[in-house]
C-alpha cells in the first residue's frame, strides 16, 4: 500500500451507522481546484462554511459544513477537505461517490479536476501524517490505540503516547546513544590514542548510564504494553473443580455452563476482563481427566493447547474432595504434566475452590503446593476461594495482576506495544555486547562501534526512522478506514 502514496484519497471518516453528523474527508497534495469544482467556491482556510453539497446536476445531496485545511497545517500534512454532513449511511455514500465523480470531471484544459482520487485504505490518512513528519510511528500507533482503547487507563495512556511522551523518552535514549557513538567512531579514526581517549571522555560512564536509562524506559514500556495487550490466563483443573464457575465469577456474567456433572465444559470459553485497567483474556477449559468420550477427549486436547499458550495458569482444586486419595493423585498427575509441558517462566497459581464447604482449619492444612510445581512463580502462597460466594476472589485478582508484572496504575504511564518492548530488549542486548567489549583489555573498537550502531537501528524502529515498508504495512493496515 505504500506504493501509491501520492494519490489523493477520500473516505468516510466517521463510524458506520447513523449519527447526528458524518464526515467525508479528502486528502491530497493539491486540492484547491477540486474544492472549487465540488463546492462552487473557494473556502477560507480552517474556517467552517455552511453550504449545500450538490450532485453533478446541481441538486443538493445535503447541507452541511465544509472545512479546508491547506497543507502542511492539516492532519495528513497535505491539503485536507472535510465535509460534515448528516450522519446517515446513504447520505455519506452519496457524498463519497460525488467526490470521486467530481475528481473525474474535466477542467477547461481537459484534465481531470483531481486525477487519481481513490478510496483510502485503512490507516492511510494517519500513514500520510507519518510520512509527512507530522507524527512519528509510535504516535501513529497511539492513535489506533486511543481509538481502540477499552478502558479509561488505556485511553489516557494512549493519549500520553500520542502527545509524544513515549517518543520523547526514546529520543533521549537516542541522543545519549548518538553521543557515545560519536566518541567511538571518532576513536576509530585515531586508533593510536584509542583507549586513553575513550577513558578521558568517560565512554564507560556514558555506556553505564545509558544502560540504566534503558532499564527504566523498558520497565515503563512493559507496563504500557501490558495495559494494551494484557495477558492470557487459562483456568485448568479436574472436572467439577469449579473452573466455569470461576470464569463466571471473574467476568460477573453467566458465560460458561455450570452443572454438577463432571465433564460439562467441552469447548473453551473465553472472556476478556479488566482488573485495574489491565485486560486479562481468561479462558475456561474442559476438565482434565482420562476419558472414553470422543468429544470430551477433543476438549481436553484443546485444554492442553490453551495451557501451552498461556501467560499464566490458574490451577483449580476442589477443597471438598481433598480427603479423596484418588482425587489428590489425579491432581498430582496434572501438576506433573504441567511441570513437564510448560516453560518454567509461566506462573501457575494454585487455587483451592469451594472454600464455603470446608472449615477454615481444614483449608489451611490442605493447601500445600503440589510437589511437581514447587518453586515455580505463582505457587508460593496458594489461595482459597469460593466461586459460589465470591469469597477470596479479590485476592485472586491481585495475584493475577502480580504475576502479570503490573506495578500499579502509575500516573503518567504511556501505552506501548509488544513491538516496542522487543525493540528495547534488542537495544539492551547490543548494549550488553558493547559493555562486554569495552571491559576487556584491548577492546575491539570496530565491534564496539557496530554494536552501538545496531542498538541505534533497533531504537529507531520504534519511532519509525528507517523502518521497513513491510512493517509499516502491517501497522497501518490494522487501522480503521478513514483514520
Ligand X SMILES: Nc1nc2c(ncn2[C@@H]2O[C@H](COP(=O)(O)OP(=O)(O)OP(=O)(O)O)[C@@H](O)[C@H]2O)c(=O)[nH]1
- Asked whether residue 230 is marked as a ligand-binding residue, the answer is no
Q: Which is nearer to ligand X, 143 or 256 (CB)?
A: 256
Position with the least CB separation from ligand X: 287
Under the binding rule (CB under 6 A), the answer on residue 267 touching ligand X is no
User: Quick one: which of 265, 437, 463, 467 contacts ligand X (CB under 6 A)?
Assistant: 265
Q: How far is the CB of 306 from Mg ion (least distance, A)?
A: 13
- Asked whether residue 457 is marked as a ligand-binding residue, the answer is no
**According to CB under 6 A, which residues from 276 to 295 bind ligand X?**
286-287
| Cα–Cα distance measured from residue 467 to residue 179, given in angstroms and rounded to the nearest whole number | 22
DSSP 6: T
Q: Which does 260 bind (CB under 5 to 8 A by kind): Mg ion, ligand X, none?
A: ligand X
Q: Is 353 left (phi over 0), alpha (psi -120 to 50) or beta?
A: beta
User: Quick one: which of 353, 384, 437, 461 contacts ligand X (CB under 6 A)?
Assistant: 353
- Asked whether residue 228 is marked as a ligand-binding residue, the answer is no
Q: Which does 245 bind (CB under 5 to 8 A by kind): Mg ion, ligand X, none?
A: ligand X
Helix (H/G/I), strand (E/B), else coil: 49:
strand
C-alpha 21 chain-centroid distance? 30
Angle between helices 124-131 and 469-477 (to 10 degrees): 140
User: Quick one: which of 8, 77, 242, 378 contacts ligand X (CB under 6 A)?
Assistant: 242
Contacts of 256 (CB under 8 A, 6+ apart): 244, 247, 248, 265, 269, 284
Q: How far is the CB of 435 from ligand X (least distance, A)?
A: 50
Q: Which is nearer to Mg ion, 128 or 243 (CB)?
A: 243
DSSP 397: H
How many alpha carbons fall within 13 Å on the CB side of residue 473?
7
Q: Which is nearer to ligand X, 81 or 300 (CB)?
A: 300
Q: Which does 386 bind (CB under 5 to 8 A by kind): Mg ion, ligand X, none?
A: ligand X
What does 279-313 look like in DSSP terms, one character per residue?
Answer: EEEEEE-PPPS----HHHHHHHHHHHHHHHT-SEE
User: Quick one: which of 76, 167, 187, 245 contacts ligand X (CB under 6 A)?
Assistant: 245
Q: CA distances (Å), 57 to each of 61, 98, 118, 192, 420, in order? A: 11, 11, 22, 80, 52
Contact present, 351 and 363 (Cβ < 8 Å): no
Q: How far is the CB of 371 from ligand X (least distance, A)?
A: 23
Based on its alpha-carbon atoms, the radius of gyration of the chain, rounded to whole angstroms, reads 29
- Asked whether residue 244 is marked as a ligand-binding residue, the answer is yes
CA angle 90, 92, 98 (to 5 degrees): 105
**According to CB under 5 A, which residues from 216 to 275 bind Mg ion?**
243-244, 264-265
User: Taking contact as CB under 6 A, which single stretch among the options 11-19, 73-81, 174-182, 351-359 is the one that binds ligand X?
Assistant: 351-359
Q: How far is the CB of 366 from ligand X (least distance, A)?
A: 15
- Asked whether residue 287 is marked as a ligand-binding residue, the answer is yes
Under the binding rule (CB under 6 A), the answer on residue 356 touching ligand X is yes
Q: How far is the CB of 364 from ligand X (least distance, A)?
A: 17
Under the binding rule (CB under 6 A), the answer on residue 264 touching ligand X is yes
Helix (H/G/I), strand (E/B), else coil: 86:
strand
Contacts of 440 (CB under 8 A, 6+ apart): none
Under the binding rule (CB under 6 A), the answer on residue 357 touching ligand X is yes
- Asked whether residue 386 is marked as a ligand-binding residue, the answer is yes
Q: How far is the CB of 339 from ligand X (least distance, A)?
A: 21
Contacts of 351 (CB under 8 A, 6+ apart): 246, 314, 315, 316, 317, 382, 383, 384, 385, 396
Tell how strand 9-12 and strand 118-119 pair up: parallel
Q: How far is the CB of 239 from ligand X (least distance, A)?
A: 4
Q: How many residues form the binding site for ligand X (CB under 6 A)?
A: 23
Q: How far is the CB of 297 from Mg ion (least distance, A)?
A: 16
Binding site for Mg ion (CB under 5 A): 243-244, 264-265
Known binding positions for K(+) = 240, 259, 261, 264
Binding site for ligand X (CB under 6 A): 239-245, 258-260, 262-265, 286-287, 353-354, 356-357, 386-388
Known binding positions = 25, 82, 134, 240-245, 259-265, 284-287, 353-356, 386-388, 483
Amino acid at each position: 500500500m505504500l506504493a501509491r502514496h501520492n494519490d489523493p484519497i477520500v473516505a468516510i471518516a466517521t463510524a458506520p451507522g447513523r449519527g447526528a453528523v458524518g464526515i467525508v474527508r479528502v486528502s491530497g497534495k493539491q486540492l484547491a481546484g477540486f474544492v472549487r469544482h465540488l463546492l462552487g467556491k473557494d473556502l477560507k482556510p480552517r474556517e467552517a462554511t455552511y453550504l449545500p453539497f450538490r450532485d453533478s446536476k446541481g441538486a443538493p445531496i445535503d447541507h452541511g459544513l465544509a472545512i479546508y485545511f491547506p497543507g502542511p497545517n492539516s492532519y495528513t500534512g497535505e491539503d485536507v477537505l472535510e465535509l460534515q454532513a448528516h450522519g446517515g449511511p446513504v447520505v455519506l455514500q452519496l457524498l463519497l461517490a460525488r467526490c470521486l465523480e467530481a475528481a473525474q470531471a474535466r477542467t477547461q484544459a481537459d484534465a481531470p479536476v483531481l486525477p487519481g482520487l481513490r478510496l483510502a485504505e485503512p490507516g492511510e490518512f494517519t500513514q500520510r501524517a507519518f510520512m509527512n513528519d507530522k507524527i512519528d510511528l509510535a504516535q501513529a500507533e497511539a492513535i489506533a490505540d486511543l481509538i481502540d482503547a477499552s478502558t479509561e487507563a488505556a485511553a489516557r495512556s494512549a493519549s500520553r503516547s500520542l502527545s509524544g511522551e513515549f517518543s520523547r523518552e526514546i529520543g533521549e535514549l537516542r541522543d545519549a546513544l548518538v553521543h557515545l557513538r560519536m566518541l567511538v567512531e571518532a576513536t576509530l579514526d585515531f586508533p593510536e590514542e584509542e583507549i586513553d581517549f575513550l577513558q578521558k571522555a568517560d565512554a564507560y560512564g556514558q555506556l553505564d548510564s545509558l544502560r540504566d536509562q534503558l532499564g527504566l524506559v523498558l520497565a515503563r514500556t512493559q507496563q504500557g504494553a501490558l495495559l494494551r495487550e494484557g495477558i492470557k490466563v487459562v483456568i485448568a483443573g479436574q472436572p467439577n473443580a469449579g473452573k466455569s464457575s470461576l470464569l463466571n465469577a471473574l467476568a460477573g456474567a453467566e458465560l460458561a455452563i455450570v452443572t454438577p456433572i463432571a465433564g460439562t465444559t467441552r469447548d473453551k470459553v473465553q472472556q476478556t476482563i479488566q482488573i485495574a485497567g489491565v485486560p486479562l483474556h481468561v479462558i475456561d477449559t474442559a476438565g482434565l481427566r482420562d476419558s472414553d468420550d470422543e468429544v470430551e477427549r477433543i476438549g481436553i486436547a484443546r485444554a492442553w493447547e490453551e495451557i501451552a499458550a498461556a501467560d499464566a495458569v490458574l490451577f483449580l482444586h476442589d477443597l471438598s474432595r481433598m480427603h479423596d486419595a484418588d482425587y489428590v493423585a489425579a491432581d498430582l498427575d496434572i501438576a506433573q504434566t504441567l511441570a513437564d509441558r510448560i516453560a518454567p517462566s509461566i506462573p501457575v497459581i494454585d487455587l483451592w475452590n469451594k472454600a464455603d464447604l470446608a472449615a477454615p482449619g481444614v483449608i489451611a492444612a490442605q493447601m500445600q503446593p503440589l510437589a511437581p510445581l514447587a518453586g515455580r512463580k505463582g505457587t508460593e502462597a496458594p489461595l482459597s476461594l469460593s466461586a459460589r460466594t465470591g469469597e477470596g476472589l479479590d485476592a485472586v485478582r491481585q495475584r493475577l495482576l502480580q504475576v502479570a508484572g503490573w506495578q500499579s496504575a502509575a500516573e503518567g504511564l504511556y501505552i506501548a506495544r509488544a513491538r516496542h518492548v522487543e525493540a528495547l530488549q534488542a537495544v539492551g542486548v547490543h548494549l550488553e555486547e558493547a559493555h562486554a567489549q569495552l571491559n576487556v583489555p584491548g577492546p575491539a573498537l570496530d565491534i564496539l562501534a557496530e554494536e552501538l550502531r545496531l542498538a541505534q537501528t533497533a531504537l529507531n524502529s520504534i519511532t519509525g526512522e528507517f523502518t521497513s515498508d513491510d512493517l509499516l504495512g502491517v501497522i497501518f493496515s490494522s487501522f480503521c478506514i478513514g483514520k
